[in-house]
Amino acid sequence: MANSQELISFEPATGKELWRGAHGNVDAVVAQSRRAWPKWAALPLSNRIELMRRFVNEVRKDQDAFAELIAREAGKPLWEARTEVEAVMAKVDISVSAYAERTGQRKLDSALQGTAALRHKPHGVMAVLGPYNFPAHLPNGHMVPALIAGNTVILKPSEKTPAVGEKLVELMNRAGIPEGVVQLLIGGPDEGKALVAHQDVDGVLFTGSAQVGIAINRKLANEPGKIVALEMGGNNPIVVWDTPKITDAAALIIQSAFTTAGQRCTAARRLIVKSSMYDEVIAETKKLADRIIVGGPFDDPAPFMGPVIDNYTADQLTESFVYLLSHGGKAIKHMRRQQDDLPFLTPAIIDTTAMADRPDVELFGPLLQVIKVDDFDEAIAEANNTRFGLSASLVGGDPQQYNRFWANVRAGIVNWNRPTNGASSAAPFGGIGLSGNHRPAAFYAADYCAYPVTSTEVEQPRASVGVGFK
C-alpha cells in the first residue's frame, strides 16, 4: 500500500506506474526560495539571460528523452510531445525579446528637475501551478519570464504529470540556475492551496480549470499585494459561414476540436454552422473524424489522438455525452470507450441545436457540440452565449463579416480561416470572462513578472520653499 504522502503517476495509455515521489514541504520550499531571491534579483539581467540560454542547451541535449517522457505521462502522441519540447526551447528567445519590449528602461532628462527614470523590479517568490495537458510548455511559459525578470520560482506541477515537472526543474538546475531559485513542489490540492495562501509567496501564476482559478482568486481577494495571473479554460466557438472550401473547413474544425484529444484550453467546443451549409459541412467533418487514428503515443502508424489523461476524465466525458443526448442532443458521431480499463475515447460530435438549455461548461476532451443558425447576427450571439472568452474562429465569410465577427465576438484570440488553437508564443495569450483575469500570458507574461518603478533623481539635494511661509 502506497504511503498517503506519496504521489504516484500512471501512464494513461498503458495504466502502468511511471513515477512516484514524496509530497513536498511547502514551508521549507518557500523559505528556501525567499532566501535565494535577493542574490538572484541582484544578478545582472545579462547573467540571468545567459543561464536561460544554457537551459535551452540542456533541453536540446535531452530532447528525445524529454519528449518521450511527456508522451508517456500525458498520453499524447510522440510527434506532438516533440513539438512541445520545441516550444519549451523557443520560449527563452521570445521571453528575452518580450522582457526588453514590455519592461524596458527609460530615462527622461530635465536640466533643473534632474533625471526621471523608469525601471522594473521583480515581485519576489512566484508560485507556478501547471496543468497536465502541456506539462512542460505551459508552466515553462510562466517560469522563464519570471526567472528572467529576477523572481525565484516554485513549480507545483499537476498531480497527474509530476515526472515532467521534475524533469523541467532538473534541466534548469543542470543549466546552473541555483536550486533555491527554481524548485519543484510535489503534491496535490492541499499543497497547492497552502502554496497559494503562503504569506511569503508574492505571486501566483496559474494555468488550469476555471473552477480552480476562481478558488485561487477568492482565496487571495483580500491580498491585493499578490500578483495573480489566471489562465483558465474556454467554451470556444468555431463559426462556419459561406465558403466553397468545405474540405478545408472540415480540416480546420477537426484540428480545432480534436488535437490533443480535445484537451486544450483553446479547443473548439461548439461548431456554429449556417443552416444552408449544415448538411455538407457535417458530412465532410464526420467523414474526416471517422478517419482519425486513436492510439498510444508510440503506435505505428502514429495516431492523431492519444487517450485522455485518466479513467476518471474518460468516465466524466462519456457521462457528459449521454447527458447531452438525453436532454435533446442528436448524435452525429458517438463517443466510444475503446477499452474499459484505459482512457481511450473516440472523437464525438453531437447536434445540440434543439437543447433548450445548453450547459455552459468546458467539456475538456474530444466532444464537439454543433449548433445550427440562420443568420450571421445569430451566429455571433451564439458564439457569445458563454461566460468564457478565450478563443473564437470564423471559417468562411467575407472581409466585412470577419470585421463584424472580430468587433463583436468576446474572446482574447480571434482567428479567421484558422483553427481556434495553435496560438503563437510571440503574441499575447489569454481571454476574458471565465477564461482569465486580464493578465495574458505568452509574449505579455513579462507584464506580470515585474512591476514598474518610477524615480526622479538629482545628485545633490536642491529645493526651495514657496508660498505660505513667513
Query: Active-site residue numbers?
Result: 231, 265
Q: Which residues contact 292 (CB under 8 A, 6 or more apart)?
A: 254, 258, 304, 305, 346, 347
Q: Do residues 11 and 18 make contact, with C-beta atoms less than 8 angstroms apart?
A: yes
* Helix (H), strand (E) at residue 457: strand 450-457
Rounded distance, CA 77 to CA 298, Å? 7
Angle between helices 376-383 and 399-408 (to 10 degrees): 30
CA distances in angstroms from 193 to 22, 181, 201, 231, 446, listed in the order given: 17, 21, 12, 17, 25
Report helix, strand or coil for 249: helix
User: The C-alpha cell of 437 is what?
Assistant: 483575469
Give the strand order in the sheet containing 182-184. 182-184, 152-156, 125-129, 203-207, 227-231
User: The C-alpha cell of 294 is what?
Assistant: 486513436
Q: 422-440 as b/e, with b when 16 or more CB fall inside 10 Å? A: ebebeebbbbbbbbbbebb
Rounded distance, CA 194 to CA 399, Å? 50
Q: Which residues contact 353 (CB under 8 A, 6 or more apart)?
A: 330, 370, 371, 372
Q: Do residues 243 and 396 make contact, with C-beta atoms less than 8 angstroms apart?
A: yes
Provide DSSP, 85-98: HHHHHHHHHHHHHH
Give which of 305, 309, 259, 314 is closest to 18, Cα–Cα. Answer: 309
